[in-house]
């Protein structure tokens, strides 16, 4: 029985750690930990680093919804707004506006 509780605790801890967080600055607001995209940062790289743990390596979904055809449902601007402001269980502030724009443009092509 102890083994089951330990496995449950460990699994929950790993899941929460994978979804990230972000610290609070002294004003109590979330700090942005992401840097502006560099020329070597592709949308796929940004996605793998910040989004794939919930949306799957191949956009298939997981803890978050599938994004395989998200461009058929939302415009680039709507996708960018969701990335920046969050929606449902997805927290806000996971990417800077610049990186959100790069990823949103890439995802808008997925139809």
**Domain for residue 29, yes or no?**
no
Q: Residue 19: inside a domain, yes or no?
A: no
Residue-wise pLDDT for 32-91, tens only, equals: 444 444 444 699 999 999 999 999 999 999 999 999 999 999 999 999 999 999 999 999
Whether residue 63 contacts residue 15, with contact meaning beta carbons closer than 8 Å, is answered with: yes
**77 inside domain:** yes
Q: Helix, strand, or coil here: 69?
A: coil
What is the per-residue pLDDT for 76? 96
Domain that holds residue 67: 36-111
Angstrom distance (rounded) from CA 76 to CA 102: 10
Residue 45 pLDDT: 95
Phi, psi angle pair for 30, to nearest 5°: -70, 135
- Evaluate whether 72 touches 108 at the Cβ level (below 8 Å): no
Please check whether residue 30 lies inside any domain of the structure.
no
Residue 56 burial (CB count, 10 A): 17
If one counts the domains in the chain, the total is: 1
């Amino acid at each position: 029985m102890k083994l089951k509780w330990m496995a449950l605790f460990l699994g929950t801890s790993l899941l929460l750690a994978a979804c990230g967080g972000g610290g609070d600055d002294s004003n109590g607001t979330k700090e942005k930990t992401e840097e502006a995209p560099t020329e070597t940062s592709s949308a796929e790289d940004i996605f793998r680093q910040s989004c794939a743990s919930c949306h799957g390596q191949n956009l298939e979904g997981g803890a978050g919804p599938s994004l395989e055809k998200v461009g058929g449902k939302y415009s680039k601007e709507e996708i960018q707004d969701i990335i920046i402001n969050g929606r449902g269980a997805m927290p806000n502030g996971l990417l800077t506006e610049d990186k959100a724009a790069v990823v949103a443009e890439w995802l808008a092509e997925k139809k």
